[in-house]
Amino acid sequence: MHLHPLKVLLFSVFIVHMGCQTPSSKEGTPVSNPNILFILADDLGYGELGCYGQEVLRTPRIDKMAAEGMRFTQFYAGSTVCAPSRGALMTGQHTGHITNRANRSYPVGAPKERIAIKPSDTTIAMLLKNAGYRTGHFGKWHLEKPGVAHSMAWNKGFDVSIGTIIENPLGIQSGGFYPAQLHKNGEVIDVPGNENSPNVYVDEFYLQEAKKFMEAPADQPFFVYVALKTVHNPIEFEQDYGPFKDKDWPEVEKKYAARLSYLDRKIGELLDFMDSSGLAENTLVLFSSDNGNHKEGGHDPYFFKSNAPLRGYKRDVYDGGIRTPMIAQWPGVVKPGSESDYVGAFWDVMPTLCELAGVETVKKTDGQSFLSVLKGGTVDPTPNLYWEFRTSSYFRQAVRLGDFKVLRQDYDAPIEVYHIINDPGESNDLAPQYPGLVAKADSLFVFARVPDPSFPIPVLDSLYYARK
């Protein structure tokens, strides 16, 4: 058979092209791309893990993860409360730029309400899904608004999303820790065992579903986001108190200690499952918390020194409210028993995972990739890290500038300066000695943020527009 010369040339080019391709998934992503598992605890303090200095509470399995991986000592959450912290994690932006800057809005002359993540907001899941990853979310989302479909996790890049959803304007989630029903991609599903009495702890169910998703046969890598509810208030727990049963402690603290031990065991079971299934060898696992430990439901964050050696707790912009444990495990890549003093925050996670997956991050990210740190290298520090937190009573701001932390308790309050390395407890205010840092922070407190009508600060907003 005689072929036309042009057809011979085109066929030859096609064969050469195919021979140069890396084995790929259906979406065109190299099969060798690692899986990604991000486990987020809720209100877990910096000092509550044995590997971070805890001496009373017991977390042997998470401590083992740290021993087999890398422990970060200067990593920060996205915010000091749930919704904005998760918004910063998912969108790669700090709280001066994200849609969800607090758990509720505080508009002038209007009632406070939940804020829905915007249709224009790009999430990690959306980017990784476009890169060929299967994407699953199991647990708390907290970026949705009742009745706003685009704000649900299954419409923001997740193939599968199982969890509770906000059911009223103020943001109270239904179901507690022993829900009879949850939502899966918007459809109501039953939690077997909880129909008539509290038997199945909600985090147990999330972890079971996450395992099913991860072990499902597929030629694509996965990105799984497990957002557990422990140790958030209310401090419900119907399980055995274990070694804490006979302690001479307040009942709420015995229950709290038992819950944290339970969380540790279940994370251990998840990691053991990955080992036994062969998934661990090609999976980056990150473990963190959304903010510092809380003072709610009768629990005292000082009882176990939950945020030690840091000052403050949830809702503070002192480090006790925003610095968080961060542990990375990745066999063959992350050096076992390693420690990093890299100064990073949740908005660094998006660019890191995008570099890992070989996909471009969003242009307006506030973060930078720390993938080279995971591989044993270094990254130049970012010029600053910024936080803000609004309530009906105050507007707190903070910025990390190198070895210094600068903050104020309200927009018109005095600026405080701390050498965070020498003084992690932020007890010695150095503002009089560093007028230059005070002036720099004063400017950043105006221009690091973009005014938002849902979170207005009229004095700062007018300065921003006047000098832009």
What pLDDT does 235 receive?
A: 82
State the sign of the Cα–Cα–Cα–Cα dihedral 456, 457, 458, 464. negative
What pLDDT does 175 receive?
A: 61
Any idea what the Cα angle at residue 222 is, between residues 117 and 49, rounded to 5°?
A: 75
pLDDT in tens, the chain (468 residues): 444 443 433 333 333 333 333 333 334 343 469 999 999 999 999 999 999 999 999 999 999 999 999 999 999 999 999 999 999 999 999 999 999 999 999 998 888 999 999 999 999 999 999 999 999 999 999 999 988 999 999 999 999 999 988 776 666 555 688 898 999 999 999 999 888 888 889 999 999 999 999 999 889 999 999 999 999 998 878 778 888 999 999 999 999 999 999 999 999 999 999 999 999 999 999 999 999 999 999 999 999 999 999 999 999 999 999 999 999 999 999 999 999 999 999 999 999 999 999 999 998 899 999 999 999 999 998 899 999 999 999 999 999 999 999 999 999 999 999 999 999 999 999 999 999 999 999 999 999 999 999 999 999 999 999 986
CATH topology agreement for domains 35-374 and 385-467? no
The answer to whether 326 touches 77, Cβ cutoff 8 Å, is no
CATH topology of domain 35-374: Alkaline Phosphatase, subunit A (3.40.720)
- Max intra-chain CA distance, the chain: 92
What pLDDT does 393 receive?
A: 93
Domain coordinates in residue numbering, the chain: 35-374, 385-467
Beta bridge partners of 30: 24
pTM as predicted: 0.92
Distance CA 138, CA 67 (A): 26
Q: Name the architecture of domain 385-467.
A: 2-Layer Sandwich (3.30)
